[in-house]
Amino acid sequence: MDLQIQCGGPASTALVTLSRLGIRTSFLGSISDDSRGIEIVNGLKEEKVDSTFLKITPGYTSQFAFIAITEIGIRTIFWHRGSVPHLRPSDVDLSPFSKAKILHLNGLMIEAAQEAARQAKNMGLKIVMDAGTMREGSQELVSMVDVLIASERFAEPLVRDIAPPEKALEVLHDLGPKEVIITLGSKGSIGLSGKGIIFQKAFPIDAVDTTGAGDVYHGAYIYGLLQEWDMQKRMRFASAASAIKCRQIGARKGIPQLEEIRKFMSGK
């Protein structure tokens, strides 16, 4: 049995992915000054992700998760959101990021995310959303984003759970995003834009741990947006980065750098 302590989280892991790919990033969130909060800050600093605007409220607990992984890679996740208050809309100020190009949201703190999206639109930023679970206010937020990257279960409240991914893509696209991608785990990913539907197979690997795989996919996809690649190339690059991560335990340890992704893709 092996026990490891690593930082994670949907948005922060995507930003760490971008940082390892050479992109400057800054993380806005809410933590406390407990041992887990300190670990979060240190983890961001180690990965060169700016934490200047991270809100730290003393006297609470920060969120954490305990993940048990079997020898064949099956995960059981115990997650606690902590007691620290969520970001409020009044906490959100994107004015220091006048040179930013993309805002990445995970939609967990929905009201703050909506405020961030409004500010980002006024600044001309492209908005990308990691959509894991449909919550109250999620549809309004989806209508404000340019690129939606969703889990298989996100669209279930809007379509039958037996509906094919293509139907889910159409329903989510009709909410407003210009591009919609649904990640399908070992089955790959499927995307929809104005040019039609694109399917990307998952790269075959011996997976050790899939924790953070989707988050790495999001970061790598955003890297492709910044390079102005077409959707097919972005999806292939993101799928490769996600596959490489799964070779190691934890959300961040296996996140690859650019040259490693290029070598991996050239061999496929």
Residue 82 forms part of a structural domain: no
Written as six digits, the tokens of 20 are 């390892």
Q: Which amino acid is at 234?
A: R
Note the pLDDT of residue 224. Answer: 98
The model carries a pTM of: 0.94
Q: Per-residue pLDDT for 238 more than 90? A: yes
Note the pLDDT of residue 72. Answer: 57
Written as six digits, the tokens of 108 are 């967990």
Domain count, the chain: 1
Compute φ and ψ for 76, nearest 5 degrees: -125, 125
Residue 54 forms part of a structural domain: no
Q: Using the 8-state DSSP alphabet, how is residue 233 labeled?
A: H
Distance in angstroms (rounded) separating the CA atoms of residues 240 and 253? 16
Note the pLDDT of residue 53. Answer: 95
At 27, is the pLDDT very low, low, confident or very high (cuts 50, 70, 90)?
Answer: very high
Q: What is the mean pLDDT of residues 54-75?
A: 82
Tell me if 241 sits within 8 A of 217, measured CB to CB.
yes
Least confident of 1-5, 18-22, 98-102, 262-266: 1-5
Written as six digits, the tokens of 13 are 């892991």
At 160, is the pLDDT very low, low, confident or very high (cuts 50, 70, 90)?
Answer: confident
pLDDT higher for 79 or 138? 138
Residue 37 forms part of a structural domain: no
Note the pLDDT of residue 7. Answer: 80
The CATH number given to whatever domain includes residue 102 is 3.40.1190.20
Residue 75 forms part of a structural domain: no
pLDDT in tens, 188-224: 999 999 889 999 999 999 988 999 999 999 999 999 9
Least confident of 14-18, 94-98, 248-252: 248-252
Q: What is the mean pLDDT of residues 143-170?
A: 90
Residue 80 forms part of a structural domain: no
Which residues, other chains included, contact 117 with Cβ-Cβ below 8 Å and sequence gap of 6+? 103, 105, 127, 141, 144, 145
Q: What is the mean pLDDT of residues 115-135?
A: 96
Among residues 80, 76, 58, which one has the least CA distance to residue 68?
76
Between helices 213-226 and 10-20, what is the axis angle to 10°?
50
Q: Per-residue pLDDT for 227 more than 90? A: yes
Residue 61 forms part of a structural domain: no
What is the percentage of the chain residues whose pLDDT exceeds 90?
Answer: 78
Residue 57 forms part of a structural domain: no
Q: Per-residue pLDDT for 1 more than 70? A: no
Least confident of 74-88, 96-110, 135-149, 178-192: 74-88
Q: Using the 8-state DSSP alphabet, how is residue 180 labeled?
A: E
Among residues 198, 251, 43, which one has the least CA distance to residue 27?
43
Tell me if 117 sits within 8 A of 145, measured CB to CB.
yes
Residue 60 forms part of a structural domain: no
Where helices occur in the chain by DSSP H, the ranges are 10-20, 35-46, 110-123, 138-142, 165-174, 213-226, 231-245, 258-266
Tell me if 47 sits within 8 A of 71, measured CB to CB.
no
What is the percentage of the chain residues whose pLDDT exceeds 70?
Answer: 96
**Structural domain range at position 206:** 10-27+87-266
Among residues 211, 25, 254, 258, which one has the least CA distance to residue 128?
25
The alpha carbon of 86 is separated from its chain's Cα centroid by a whole number of angstroms, namely 18
Start-to-end Cα distance in the chain: 33
